[in-house]
Structure 1
Amino acid sequence: MSSGNAIITNLFSFPDPFRELSRSSVMGVRGLQGFVVSTCPHVCTVVSFKELAEHHRNKHPGSTPTIVVDAMCCLRYWYTPESWICGGQWREYFSALRDFVKTFTAVGIKLVFFFDGMVEQEKRDEWVKRRLKNNREISRIFHYIKSHREQPGRNMFFIPSGLAIFTRFALKTLGQETLCSLQEADYEVASYGLRNNCLGILGEDTDYLIYDTCPYFSIGDLCLESLSTVMLCREKLCESLAISLADLPLLACLLGNDIIPEGMFESFRYKCLSSYTSLKENFDKKGNIILAVADHIAKVLHLHQGEKKLEEMLPLGPNKALFYKGVASYLLPGQKSPWFFQKPKGLITLHKQVVSMSSDPEPKQGVPMCADPEPKQGVPMCADPEPKQGVPMCVDPEPKQGVPMCADPEPKQGVPMCVDPEPKQGVPICIDPESRQGVPIYAYTVVKQKLPLGADPEFKLEAPMCTDPAIKQDRMHMEPEVKQVTMVSDPEILKVARAHHVQAESYLVYNIMSSGEIECSNTLEDALDQALPSQAFVYRPVRQRVYALLLGDGRDGASPCPTVKEWFVYSGNPLRHPDLVRPLQMNIPGGTPNLKSLWLTQEPGVQGRRLDALLGCFDLSSSREELQAVEDPFKALCCLLIYLFVQVDTLCLEDLHAFIAQALCLQGKSTVQLVDLQLDYIDPRAVQLGSLLVRGLTTLVLVNSACGFPWRTSDFMPWNVFDGKLFHQKYLQAEKGHSVEALVEQNRSRLTKFHALKSVVCKACVKESRRIVSRQHRGSHVPTGRWGRQGSGSHRTSSGYSRAGHGQHWRDQGAGNRQYEPDHWRRYSSSSGWPN
């Protein structure tokens, strides 16, 4: 279709900073996106979703045309607000999402959104590489802010912290089916699309050109007004490369993807290039390499296919198992590869992991399987092809201060034991972070009972784990084989945690309970700011208490002390290994409740116990009465502000005024007013404070779901309590000495609420020996560049923080694979060098 090709030319001829940024972040096969756009434009076809939906209805009467959306690929496209530097324009963003959904709904198209639920181990290196790259980008952003006192251009755009997490809840609020994967989302997206005969997949990941599934549409080229975009046709790609659809997984792995490092087959690719006879002078180097590798598959490998094993035709060497796993990862349920000898038990071992050579519907260990071979509507049944083992247990039950934990970067069989049974200072305890048990995660199962009343009623969390009755029959022969050693042994509790995870109602809870491993991406934090701590450290005590609630703290002596592997991005962390973090004992009246009482019971008073648990996670049980008196939606915000100001002593009264004033003024402002808001300049400290608060809101999501939903989720959604530009405006005004009346815009009702909220926060802080003072009145007794709890040796030192000579600068916390003890966070005295 010539008209379509003309439109394609127009789409790709005019550079747009946003589109270029979107393309630069494309995941999947190395170089394939650029190759398709520049070398094979006929692979791209402009299509109209309206026409496709009509065609689908004619072909399948009674069936609703459905698009499965890889939400993680769409975040940049969805975030359309002009301002992004101040912490997020959440009202504007929510409005943009609502318009997106309405546009598709208006033409009768159903959307199903998938979010990544965890990072698979074989993709960890790629995850780390991107996080470190983002760190460099963030450094450039802060350099620009300090030099120009304004937001950088869109070419330096960085999505606001927590965007993926809050997008899940925004979509659910908008009534959309929103799912969280039990592995990297692309496999589940492709499986869902194939099984449910979807109209297509909307995303920006070239892996969708490799999967043999429904059509793949580009979110980066979507025109919402006309509902048209570009469809990338894998059949036409194969035609251009003279290979078959079944060859695409092999091609992807030889080129390098998120599983196979790009350098693994570099010499092989250049060998193909040197013998390739059809080099195109007008093609770039990567384009010719793709053509050469495809030519080698078509003319050389096909020649011996079926006669020789693939490893005899390729230089796999020690990477054989990883390579086969990479190819098998593209095989959807019921699909097989002609490149594997199909044996009854076609399994190979990869560091104790079992990998199947096909994706046969018959359940096998390690197979990326689907319990339901028949396409039906419902939650995807795909189990995790990358099983993980519980994190290493504490080798020394009474760790001493200064005992480093070192992880072995080379995976070996089993976990090495410490040579010295009683480790002393300076003796490393080697723990292999890569060791995992080779049993896949338990496949989706049906939760027959409704979820507990403690679930957030706002999102109707009574959906079963699986809507497909056919899976019940499959479970009969699946259960004995597919089991996993998890951090929590209670299957009933795990089912509930899994249900909330899959339905995208919780954050990190199931990851902690199943694998004991979590991660958090980059935050807009200034690596050169010595006064403000990273959010990774500020909220770590809260996470540690959540670990105690979910896993126990090992203090009863009946079970070993659990350890959680944290991959959190902060300045100075090379991310070579995770931080090994232990639980922190909770101070809750009546003791720490068990999860069954919080999640499954409907007894009178259980909601109060849930609230006790939530406040216990923030170590704010003493402020329960004051917080209960605060009206919604400010209750959760006050809890967070009290915690922040007790933890970080460099926060001052002006900061508190700005946080409270923006939350109150936000209630009376329309989206249009927020869009039109103009700032005099951008302050780098305010940028970091905005991100710090938003990360606190995501921490509230974790705590609230772990405690059985004592608070309504809507009360701490950012579009109800935070706006980046509005906070920035109030911060600048407070810094200039504007009165409280000016901060609340001369509104008497807001002024009354302001003083009430401020009183709650300040009184609670005084209980913790923390007096919030104005920056103009800060004395020498309050150290700049130090943070922690006020006072040393008090009853609150269980948090691991203390000041007045017992603290350590937060930048010196160390990075990667250091084990964090509940009472031994600080490792150096004040004599180790404090900035003034």
Structure 2
Amino acid sequence: MGVKGLQSFMERCCPQACVTVNLREMARRHAANSQQGFTTTADTISPTLVVDGMACLRHWYSCRDWVCGGQWKEYIDVLKSWVEVFTSAGIRLVFFFDGVVEEQKRPEWVKRRRRVNGEVSKMFGYIKEHGEQPGRELFCLPSGLATFTPFALRSMGQQVFCTVREADYEIASYARQHGSMGILGQDSDFIIYDSAPYLSVAKLRINSLTTVMYDRQRLCQTIGLPVTQLPLLACLLGNDVVSEEQMQHIRNIAMATYRKNQPAPHSAAPQGQVVLAVSQLVSSLWNREEEEPGLVPQSLNLSAPDTEVLQKGIRSYVLPGQKGLELGEDISAPPSASAFETYVSSEILKACREKHIAAEGFMVYNVVCAGVTECSNTLEDEEDAELLPQALVYKPCRQQIYGLLLLLGHDGSTVDLPAIREWFVFPGNPLREPDMVQPVPVSLPCDRPSLDLLWFSTGPEVSALRLTAFLSIFECLKLSELHGVIDDSLLAALCLVTYIVLQVQTLSQEDVDAYLSQAVCLRLKSPEELQQIELPLLSSRAVQLGSLYVRGLSHLLGANTASGCPLPSAALMPWHSFDGRLFHSKYLLAHSGTETTKLLDSDQSCLSLFLQLRVKLTEICRKRGRILPSRPNAPQQRPKTTRHRHTGWSPGGGEAWRGRRDEAGGHRHERGWRERGDERRNQSEYENRKQSQPPKQSSGRSYNNRGRYQLAPSWSLPPAPGT
């Protein structure tokens, strides 16, 4: 969010502070100045650009498809090319990604998530109405992009940090301490920090390496403030710490005074006039002799709570080593210990923190050190009542991840163990408070080991135990037979699809065939071939299934980290087992009754591997009482689209999308998630999940005790399409 209206004010009313710069030239000047100085460290000599990774995601993901789950191989190529441009210019990149959501910013986080939910709802409405991807005005990042991008950059040899506190603060701190040439991002808070120059990623022209630098010195000259007063200005205008509403009365006073003293007000837009008015107010306050630098002026006549929050906001801009704003709190100090840290050893805590900061782990740091975890928006259709939200699909495995982390470190009793606070976004969740989720013990076929043994010990027995723990979390222990027989990425894909089938009773044989066939065929396709796939239309259901899979990969990553990493992290990355357009094409093929041979691109090796995976999945499901029905559901091709030239998709008969509700054996749509409101909290079958239940009872939970989600009937397994 940054500072309300400040950046637009600079662009519209203070153009002299928006300077077009050439990053190559900046790098040369920075290197020359560093060599002439007294410091000789590598960081100061090498021109380093600190990159706000979260702000860059929308600019990095330039792939044509975004609703189908992500074109991950193409995305990796885009990232490589982007990095190479800077490397060839002699610029070293250091990336930062958000690793925590600080509680003081939770309300703003919730506000943004609700807004994006509305955009996702419009996106699905468009897809169902037109059968195609909407324009960029409804663009949403593919689910999981922020999770997997740090791993992608690390695989390219880049230095990546995942933050343990507010990301803007850590970025500004690093840039200041290491003498970086600039900060590349899109957040006006970087104008306020006394750190490296703030460079706009939105204005970046990658071919010429030019962008706009927002010059804080020129800004201050224009509005008549010293730079030391920028933090107070930012807080009075409104930022992530001090909301607009809290200081609205101060801005009203400033505007009244401004209009009184300016018979002919500045021609700026209303928000620009607010910036000028508040700047004049701040300047008048600090010109009084009784005011001390760094304190909230008493003449503002704020209440004690407002004074406290304003001081907190000002403090948030004070970087380590800076003088002049000592307000009694060391913001650079690490977060205090939580109750959850008592359940693990100091060695585990240290390893969790190190993995988190180095972007090598996922989920475990926040669980162990703070007892909280969150997940942003996912592409989910609130009107599709037959598919569970991913937050509920993966809740049982998360409970076991929590159990593995916290219960292996003490006596195994859950009586006194506090619940994990989950902030997971999905349609119908008002996000007024977190869901309190209890850890569940992992059923291991051996004596309960310690978490330290699982993480730090070596030897074949420990390696086998790690794999057992990982597969047990997803109730797929039988898949250990395939470890070393098939690629790790395919083992992970099979584990994930099997888990989804066990949890989501409405999945059909055709859905499974789409998942597995695309995972098998992806290995043989180049990014260029994947880009050439043309889809005759889009299925809103396939869009949601694609996002469900990618979110599942992040849960595999969390379980792998918690289990001591039995699989290499690279095997769990989406570019090794998923492509959105490929999956969508396989979904349409499978549901149109295409022969299995054609589904596997008429490649005998792919067909053989596909059948091997499907047999193993079917075997596990049968033992759990889960029999997959065949329910082909071919959509009607839109007249304006062309025939699929790469997969041979041919539309079958059947009802059009909007008229298929009553189709026999089809997928029904009932009341949407928002209409059901808080009924989502009736989740006792998840929260009271017990490992002691017989396998048949514990397979595939239904959602909502009031009967809107029922278990699928026990079907006989028919022949798969084309076999």
What TM bracket, shorter-length normalisation?
Answer: 0.7 to 0.9
Matched, 1:738 2:594: yes
Gaps of 5+ in 1: 1-26, 348-355, 357-366, 370-382, 391-484, 787-808
Distance 1:765 1:511, change over 3 A: same
Q: Which residue of 2 aligns with 1:727?
A: 583
RMSD, aligned CA: 2.7
Distance 1:43 1:821, change over 3 A: farther
Q: Which residue of 1 aligns with 2:265?
A: 280
Aligned AA for 1:814? R
Q: Secondary structure at the match of 2:49?
A: strand
Q: CA deviation at 1:307?
A: 6.2
Q: Secondary structure at the match of 1:334?
A: coil
Distance 1:686 1:779, change over 3 A: closer
Alignment of 1:1-12 (within 5 A): none
Q: Secondary structure at the match of 2:422?
A: strand
Question: Among residues 263, 284, 287, which one is paired with 1:302 in the alignment?
Answer: 287
Residue correspondences, number: 656
Q: Which residue of 2 aligns with 1:51?
A: 25
Q: Structure 2-normalised TM-score?
A: 0.86
Q: Which residue of 2 aligns with 1:529?
A: 384
Alpha-carbon distance in 1 for matches of 2:532, 2:614: 28
C-alpha offsets along residues 675-726 of structure 1, whole Å, 9 cap, x if unaligned? Answer: 2221101110000000000000011111111111100111121111100011
Alpha-carbon distance in 2 for matches of 1:123, 1:769: 45
Checking the alignment, whether the CA contact within 8 Å between 2:372 and 2:422 is kept in structure 1 is: yes
Q: CA deviation at 1:614?
A: 0.3
Q: Which residue of 1 aligns with 2:223?
A: 241
C-alpha offsets along residues 626-664 of structure 1, whole Å, 9 cap, x if unaligned? Answer: 455433320100000111111111011111111111112
Alpha-carbon distance in 2 for matches of 1:634, 1:120: 36
Q: CA deviation at 1:819?
A: 10
Aligned AA for 1:733? L
Alignment of 1:135-150 (within 5 A): 135-150=117-132
Q: CA deviation at 1:592?
A: 3.7
Q: Which residue of 1 aligns with 2:525?
A: 669
Alpha-carbon distance in 2 for matches of 1:591, 1:781: 46
Distance 1:733 1:184, change over 3 A: same
Question: Among residues 392, 402, 406, which one is paired with 1:547 in the alignment?
Answer: 402
Q: CA deviation at 1:132?
A: 0.4
Distance 1:242 1:831, change over 3 A: closer
Question: Among residues 331, 334, 358, which one is paired with 2:321 in the alignment?
Answer: 334
Alpha-carbon distance in 2 for matches of 1:307, 1:499: 40
Distance 1:756 1:498, change over 3 A: same
Question: Among residues 275, 280, 284, which one is paired with 1:290 in the alignment?
Answer: 275
Q: Secondary structure at the match of 1:201?
A: strand
C-alpha offsets along residues 484-512 of structure 1, whole Å, 9 cap, x if unaligned? Answer: x7353521110011110010001111110
Q: CA deviation at 1:320?
A: 1.9
Range with greater deviation from structure 2 (538-547 or 757-766): 757-766
C-alpha offsets along residues 431-485 of structure 1, whole Å, 9 cap, x if unaligned? Answer: xxxxxxxxxxxxxxxxxxxxxxxxxxxxxxxxxxxxxxxxxxxxxxxxxxxxxx7
Aligned AA for 1:72? M
Checking the alignment, whether the CA contact within 8 Å between 1:171 and 1:178 is kept in structure 2 is: yes
Q: Which residue of 2 aligns with 1:368?
A: 331
Matched, 1:617 2:459: no
Q: Secondary structure at the match of 1:486?
A: helix
Alpha-carbon distance in 2 for matches of 1:95, 1:782: 39
Q: Secondary structure at the match of 2:488?
A: coil
Checking the alignment, whether the CA contact within 8 Å between 2:429 and 2:677 is kept in structure 1 is: no
Aligned AA for 1:57? A
Alignment of 1:635-646 (within 5 A): 635-646=491-502
Q: CA deviation at 1:622?
A: 3.8
Alpha-carbon distance in 2 for matches of 1:638, 1:833: 25
Alignment of 1:690-705 (within 5 A): 690-705=546-561
Q: CA deviation at 1:214?
A: 0.8
Alpha-carbon distance in 2 for matches of 1:271, 1:763: 72
Distance 1:192 1:325, change over 3 A: same
Alpha-carbon distance in 1 for matches of 2:153, 2:171: 17
Q: CA deviation at 1:75?
A: 0.4
Q: Which residue of 2 aligns with 1:598?
A: 454
Q: Which residue of 2 aligns with 1:813?
A: 680
Alignment of 1:200-211 (within 5 A): 200-211=182-193
Question: Among residues 65, 83, 89, which one is paired with 2:71 in the alignment?
Answer: 89
Alpha-carbon distance in 2 for matches of 1:647, 1:133: 29
Alpha-carbon distance in 1 for matches of 2:518, 2:178: 45
Aligned AA for 1:99? S
Range with greater deviation from structure 2 (601-610 or 541-550): 601-610
Distance 1:591 1:562, change over 3 A: farther
Q: CA deviation at 1:812?
A: 3.6
Q: Secondary structure at the match of 1:507?
A: coil
Q: Which residue of 1 aligns with 2:535?
A: 679
Checking the alignment, whether the CA contact within 8 Å between 1:66 and 1:111 is kept in structure 2 is: yes
C-alpha offsets along residues 524-570 of structure 1, whole Å, 9 cap, x if unaligned? Answer: 00001010000000001111001111111887449712310000001
Distance 1:104 1:781, change over 3 A: closer
Distance 1:552 1:315, change over 3 A: farther
Question: Among residues 254, 257, 260, which one is paired with 2:239 in the alignment?
Answer: 257
Alignment of 1:128-167 (within 5 A): 128-167=110-149
Checking the alignment, whether the CA contact within 8 Å between 1:627 and 1:638 is kept in structure 2 is: no
Q: Structure 1-normalised TM-score?
A: 0.75
Distance 1:105 1:816, change over 3 A: farther
Q: CA deviation at 1:618?
A: 1.1
Range with greater deviation from structure 2 (591-600 or 71-80): 591-600
Q: Which residue of 1 aligns with 2:643?
A: none
Q: Secondary structure at the match of 1:193?
A: helix
Q: CA deviation at 1:515?
A: 0.5
Alpha-carbon distance in 1 for matches of 2:56, 2:117: 21
Q: CA deviation at 1:810?
A: 12
The structure, 1 or 2, with the larger RCO (C-alpha pairs under 8 Å, 6+ apart) is 2
Q: CA deviation at 1:624?
A: 2.6
Alpha-carbon distance in 2 for matches of 1:54, 1:626: 54
Distance 1:592 1:681, change over 3 A: farther
C-alpha offsets along residues 80-105 of structure 1, whole Å, 9 cap, x if unaligned? Answer: 10110100010111000000111111
Alignment of 1:176-187 (within 5 A): 176-187=158-169
Alpha-carbon distance in 2 for matches of 1:163, 1:592: 36
Q: Which residue of 1 aligns with 2:642?
A: none
Alpha-carbon distance in 1 for matches of 2:369, 2:705: 37
Alpha-carbon distance in 2 for matches of 1:87, 1:536: 17
Q: CA deviation at 1:153?
A: 0.3
Alpha-carbon distance in 2 for matches of 1:198, 1:831: 58
Q: CA deviation at 1:780?
A: 9.8
Checking the alignment, whether the CA contact within 8 Å between 2:21 and 2:210 is kept in structure 1 is: yes
Q: CA deviation at 1:305?
A: 4.6
C-alpha offsets along residues 323-358 of structure 1, whole Å, 9 cap, x if unaligned? Answer: 1111001000121345xxx5xxx53xxxxxxxx2xx
Distance 1:67 1:305, change over 3 A: farther
Checking the alignment, whether the CA contact within 8 Å between 2:200 and 2:212 is kept in structure 1 is: yes
Q: Secondary structure at the match of 2:353?
A: helix
Identity between Structure 1 and Structure 2 (%): 40
Alpha-carbon distance in 1 for matches of 2:430, 2:163: 27
C-alpha offsets along residues 792-835 of structure 1, whole Å, 9 cap, x if unaligned? Answer: xxxxxxxxxxxxxxxxx999432899993435998965667869
Q: CA deviation at 1:619?
A: 2.1
Matched, 1:127 2:109: yes
Q: Which residue of 2 aligns with 1:707?
A: 563
Checking the alignment, whether the CA contact within 8 Å between 1:201 and 1:216 is kept in structure 2 is: yes
Checking the alignment, whether the CA contact within 8 Å between 1:662 and 1:722 is kept in structure 2 is: yes
Checking the alignment, whether the CA contact within 8 Å between 1:389 and 1:515 is kept in structure 2 is: yes
Range with greater deviation from structure 2 (70-79 or 295-304): 295-304
Alpha-carbon distance in 2 for matches of 1:630, 1:811: 44
Alpha-carbon distance in 2 for matches of 1:688, 1:527: 10
Aligned AA for 2:563? C
Q: Which residue of 2 aligns with 1:461?
A: none
Alpha-carbon distance in 2 for matches of 1:621, 1:749: 26
